[in-house]
Homo-oligomer: A and B are copies of this chain.
Amino acid sequence: MEQKKQTIAVIGGTGALGSGLARRWAAAGYPVVLGSRKAEKAVQAAEEMNAGGFPHAVRGMANGEAAGAGDIVVLTVPFAHHEGILAEIREAVQGKIVVDATAPLVPPKVGRVQLPESDSAACMAQEALGENVRVVSAFQNVSAHKLDGHEPVNCDVLVCGDKKEARQVVVDLIAPLGLRGVHAGPLANSTAAEALTSVLITINRLYKTDGAGIRITGNLENAPVGSPQAADARP
């Protein structure tokens, strides 16, 4: 018996990364809600996306409402809007898992690591949302355009969070996207993934490609308890 799939709200879901994730989750059968600063924009993006014909139609709403409608809330917003949007969704996400994909890029030198004072956007989110929210960070190193189409993506997703169970929920949500989620430790370790985003932007520029990503090498078959492999084995 398949478990009922949780509803995923993608805040900033009309952007390139957000819409790529939303489309892949919808195609995998997840109920998806797109959030945008303007509800109309989200509604329109959802309508366009639904031309794909998903098991559950994607819905569009203003960010605050979308955060309320989601069981799991994914943040894909520019760093410049991060703080404001955290304040906007704070009430609606209490008790939930919030997946923060924010890389703290500082224009114009987005290819240069320039960390915020706390060293991590995800740690800022945890601070802003409070201890009843389980913040997990992920997706900082996935180029949006790689999510076009349906093929598996040659990139791993570092998943950081202080609660292992919440991290596992996110790792399990990554496999249906055609990516591999890797447990990468506490939320403080998000710094590595956030900093790596600028490195990948630099590599894209220096090597004249737009496809740089990362893979974790080594034998990761002995996955942690509650891993995707274990989840797959459920009746």
Interface residues of A (CB under 8 A from B): 111-115, 119, 154-155, 158, 182-186, 188-189, 191-193, 195-196, 198-200, 202-204, 206-224
Contact = CB atoms under 8 A, between A and B. Distances in A.
A193 to B, nearest CB: 8
A136 to B, nearest CB: 15
Contacts of A217: 154-155, 211-215
A-B interface, 4 closest residue pairs, ranked by CB to CB distance from nearest:
A211-B218, A185-B202, A192-B195, A212-B218
Contacts of A213: 216-218
Contacts of A155: 217
Contacts of A182: 203
Contacts of A222: 207-209
A216 B193 CA distance: 13
Number of copies: 2
Contacts of A191: 113, 115, 191, 195
9 contacts: A113-B188, A115-B115, A154-B217, A154-B218, A191-B191, A207-B224, A208-B222, A210-B218, A211-B218
Residue in A188, A196, A218, A219 whose Cβ sees the most chain B Cβ within 10 Å: A218
Contact of A111 (B185, B196, B212): B185
B207 A198 contact: no
Contacts of A209: 218-220, 222
Nearest to A155: B217
Contacts of A215: 214-215, 217
Contacts of A188: 112-114
Nearest to A198: B189
Contacts of A192: 113, 192, 195-196, 198-199
Contacts of A199: 158, 184-185, 189, 192-193
